[in-house]
Structure 1
Amino acid sequence: MASRTTMRGLFLWVLLLLGPAVWLALFAFRPLDLPAEPVEFAVQPGSSTRAVARELEAAAILPRQFEFVVLTILLNKTGRIKAGQYSLESPLTPLGLLDKLTRGDTVMRKLTVVEGWSFRQMREAVEQSPDLRHETAGLSDQDLLAKLGAMERHPEGLFFPDTYYFDIGSSDLALYRRAYHAMQERLARAWESRAEGLPYKSPYEALIMASIIEKETGVPEERPQIAAVFVNRLKLGMRLQTDPTVIYGLGERFDGNLRKVDLITDTPYNTYTRAGLPPTPIALPGEAALRAALKPDASRALYFVAMGEGRHYFSATLEEHNRAVNRYQRGGR
């Protein structure tokens, strides 16, 4: 009789010890009944484990928050849940959900900065993104550069055009910082491998040239040829005479039509009235334009004229150029 009582007591103790473990295991491995497919869930920066669990229950993703908190504590993952936007799909268990949240397997958003955009266009795109946290709203361009620790005083050309992926709720300042450093790195690499005898005093002057090449190029493979024309002109002291710089100098006054009066009206960016490079870049150049500016074609060309479909005819002499203008622009033979 005593042994039977002892066995019964032992069994009760085993139940008491194993019961919670079995209960938690059943919770951890049971598939969740998600309210939608997929369901989006956001973890705000600085959220505690309990706050996340509470929000998961409120969103009907978890049946109860208590077991999830206990699971997090037992697996030593308290405080490891990462902020961001998550997309949840079946099959998903509470254990799988915890793993996803602590790995930071977030839904990424993207913003594409297009080659040849002005900084103003980039800033408009950033400001219009609903997925970014707008910390730079109301800052002047100069204040924004100061926040980045940039030494330059003018933002044009300083940000690398690319597609940037980020978590929902990320700071727009962080995106600007990534784009700024990306341009610095690519410009430094291109400068290190530059051709000999280029007429640039600094990497910044090469960046200015790259921006002009970016705006003048209609067909990608012509970039090194266009670069050669402008480099040759700089070496000879000829004016660059490039329309995109004039248009940039007009700013918001440009209505889509470049007139003769615009070409003869002096501004710091009018390369018809002023020799040398303009004071700043005129756009955000891509990597190919940077390479072209620092490794132009070995060519004697000094002129080019549009032939149509984005292509140009290149000439080494004014006489040849005038014939090309007559042929391609005036319909002559």
Structure 2
Amino acid sequence: MKKFLIFLLILVLVLGGAALYGWNYYNDVGERPLTTDEEIIEITVEPNDNFSRLITRLGEEGLVRNVLLTRIYFRMNPMETALKPGTFEVNAKGTLHEIITELNEGEDIYEVTVVIPEGLSIDQMGEVFEEKGLFTKEEFIEATRSYIVPSWLENIEERRHVLEGFLAPATYKLKIGQTPGYVVDVMYKAFVNRMYGVIEELGENLPTSEWNEIVTIASMIEREAANTAEMPRVSSVIYNRLTKGQKLQIDATVVYALGLTSKDKVTLDDLKVESPFNTYHVSSLPIGPISNPGAAAIRAALKPENTEYFYYVLDPSIGEHFFTDDYNVFLQKKNEFAGE
């Protein structure tokens, strides 16, 4: 009997020790689920991944100590998972909670946020992408040239960049390694969606055959207006001049015709440049857009303010334009603002 009791005691101690070891191992796996010699590892979440699929894949890659116990631990200690596709750096020694938090809230290490402001030319856009390290300016420009252009675009041989005006300014989240061709496609489709959105918002019926004219006007408004509020007024000057048969004589078109992005002062010699973009040279609209306008400029091109203005000049003291229908008043204000 005594021997049996000793055996029973030893059995209880062994089973208790095994249970304690198992419990500690279970908690340890839950707290430190990954197995690797690295301090920091990259974990890629695929589209439509959930926690179970992710743990299975990491287990197949030999990165999870025990897939079954990790799943059980997660079920017994549920936490919110809002996994988003991407590649994330996580602490390989971190707890399951810390790892999931990083996957929920962390930044994709291969994602780059690119801000393309309204009014940039394709050349300037290329410079932004190059600065972000995605691809070179030349690669971006070449991608715009090789893009299959819409059938409604005419006189494409005479344009500097066939897609000028038709790439949407916006904030883009892009992946390192994505091709410039892919990015151009995304930007063009964003433009199309924006164009349809503005047309629908204003209740307009604008066939694509008229898009080039509207976007060309919008591109000049974008470069000329000092702020969004005065865009419809700048638009009215353009339409008033077109209606009267006057040359638009917009300095921004001269700058574009010269192949520049900006110029402190347009000279009389600059005005003489023979280019289908120079509105001191041509008697109507330039052959195509001179920048890539935003929604506000497109809206202003479709809905100009109803005015009698034919002239405007920037008042540098307030950073806004003075508008008038009188040429002599225009000259007077121009001299005044220039300090003459």
TM-score by length of 1: 0.71
Q: What CA deviation, in whole Å up to 9, does each residue of 1:205-234 have, x standing for no partner?
A: 111111101111223322121111011111
Indicate yes or no: 2:226 matched with 1:218: yes
Distance 1:254 1:69, change over 3 A: same
* Structure 2 CA distance for aligned equivalents of residues 124 and 40 of structure 1: 33
| Partner SS, residue 285 of structure 1 | coil
Indicate yes or no: 2:320 matched with 1:311: yes
Q: What CA deviation, in whole Å up to 9, does each residue of 1:158-217 have, x standing for no partner?
A: 12222223455555544433332222122222234558899x961221111111011112
* Structure 2 CA distance for aligned equivalents of residues 196 and 301 of structure 1: 24
Match of 2:28 in 1: 26
Match of 1:235 in 2: 243
| Partner SS, residue 215 of structure 1 | helix
Match of 1:118 in 2: 121
TM-score by length of 2: 0.70
Match of 1:65 in 2: 63
Match of 1:190 in 2: 198
Q: Which amino acid aligns with 1:314?
A: F
Q: What CA deviation, in whole Å up to 9, does each residue of 1:49-80 have, x standing for no partner?
A: 7986799xxxxxxxx834155567888xxxxx
Aligned residue pair count: 311
289, 299, 310: which one pairs with 1:291?
Answer: 299
Match of 1:155 in 2: 163
Q: What CA deviation, in whole Å up to 9, does each residue of 1:124-183 have, x standing for no partner?
A: 2113323x478x94771445523xx75555121112222223455555544433332222
Distance 1:170 1:201, change over 3 A: closer
Distance 1:253 1:192, change over 3 A: closer
Query: What displacement does 1:113 show?
Result: 0.8
312, 325, 329: which one pairs with 1:320?
Answer: 329
Q: What CA deviation, in whole Å up to 9, does each residue of 1:99-124 have, x standing for no partner?
A: 855x6954353111122211111112
| Structure 2 unaligned regions, length at least 5 | 48-53, 75-82, 157-161
Cα-Cα RMSD: 4.7
* Structure 1 CA distance for aligned equivalents of residues 150 and 209 of structure 2: 20
Kept in 2, the 8 Å contact 1:159–1:176? The answer is yes
| Partner SS, residue 176 of structure 1 | helix
* Structure 2 CA distance for aligned equivalents of residues 98 and 20 of structure 1: 24
Kept in 2, the 8 Å contact 1:84–1:169? The answer is no
| Partner SS, residue 323 of structure 2 | strand
Match of 2:147 in 1: 145
What does 1:259-298 align with in structure 2 at a 5 Å threshold? 259-298=267-306
Kept in 2, the 8 Å contact 1:24–1:67? The answer is no
Match of 2:258 in 1: 250
Kept in 2, the 8 Å contact 1:240–1:272? The answer is yes
* Structure 1 CA distance for aligned equivalents of residues 139 and 66 of structure 2: 39
Distance 1:275 1:97, change over 3 A: same
Distance 1:139 1:317, change over 3 A: closer
Q: Which amino acid aligns with 1:84?
A: G
Q: Which amino acid aligns with 1:93?
A: T
| Structure 1 unaligned regions, length at least 5 | 56-63, 76-80
